[in-house]
């Protein structure tokens, strides 16, 4: 069973992430930002991953360090838990959430790239600064060493739009890390 644990302690955050890509217990998420916890829980449930995240951040400043550093730690845990050989490598998924629709494509290739298309109308959802959604995915992609394309296609309600993004991400990741047992899918012969 694939697994990893990351402990990351800085002057701004103290984080522990445990990741089980092949499944685990009910998600345990605590970042101090309610809506962010809700999105990370949605990621865990829809990816089928076992996920534990505990973060104590300098929320007296704002949520930036917490959100970005959770993205860093989750990306590092992902890179450690998922070997690039023997997996499907690519994942694509389009997820609706009521009137909102988002698509995500991921390539677990060893190159950390984020392309994020979409915008939110409100500055904050449940304590999560909407500017930080892109920062979370940038930190994840960079540290997971994965190419990640997220397209928020449309929607009216920012809660629904954000949830569609996280669910599309979860399902794309689930597809990409599926064990195939074959060699790395690469014309170069390795990733």
- pLDDT of amino acid 158: 98
Backbone angles phi, psi at 67, to 5 degrees: -65, -50
- pLDDT of amino acid 187: 62
Query: What 3-state class would DSSP assign to 70?
Result: helix
Per-residue pLDDT of the chain (191 residues; tens, 9 = 90+): 899 999 999 999 999 999 999 998 899 999 999 999 999 999 999 999 999 999 999 999 999 999 999 999 999 999 999 988 889 999 999 999 999 999 999 999 999 999 999 999 999 999 999 999 999 999 999 999 999 999 999 999 999 999 999 999 999 999 999 999 877 666 666 55
SS (H, E, C) 27-95: CEEECCCHHHHHHHHHHHHHHCCEEEEEEEECCCCCCHHHHHHHHHHHHHHHHHHCCCCCECCEEEEEE
Beta 128-129 vs 124-125: how paired, if at all?
antiparallel
- pLDDT of amino acid 85: 83
- What does the radius of gyration of the chain's CA atoms come to, in whole angstroms? 16
pTM for this entry: 0.95
What distance in Å separates the CA atoms of residue 117 and residue 153, rounded to the nearest whole number? 8
Beta 28-30 vs 13-20: how paired, if at all?
unpaired
Beta 28-30 vs 50-57: how paired, if at all?
parallel
Q: Which domains does the chain have, with CATH numbers?
A: 4-176 (3.30.230.40)
């Amino acid at each position: 069973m694939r697994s990893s644990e990351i402990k990351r302690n800085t002057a701004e955050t103290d984080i522990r992430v445990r990741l089980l890509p092949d499944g685990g217990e009910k998600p345990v998420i605590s970042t101090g930002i309610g809506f962010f916890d809700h999105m990370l829980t949605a990621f865990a449930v829809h990816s089928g991953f076992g996920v534990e995240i505990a973060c104590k951040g300098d929320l007296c400043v704002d949520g930036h360090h917490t959100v970005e550093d959770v993205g860093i730690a989750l990306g590092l845990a992902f890179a450690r838990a998922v070997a690039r050989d023997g997996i499907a490598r690519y994942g694509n998924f389009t997820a609706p959430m009521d009137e909102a629709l988002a698509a995500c494509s991921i390539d677990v290739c060893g190159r950390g790239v984020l392309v994020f298309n979409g915008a939110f109308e409100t500055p904050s959802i449940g304590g999560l600064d909407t500017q930080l959604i892109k920062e979370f995915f940038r930190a994840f992609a960079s540290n997971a060493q994965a190419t990640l394309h997220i397209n928020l296609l449309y929607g009216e309600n920012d809660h629904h739009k954000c949830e569609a993004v996280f669910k599309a991400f979860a399902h794309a990741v689930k597809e990409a890390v599926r064990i195939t047992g074959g060699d790395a899918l690469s014309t170069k012969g390795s990733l």
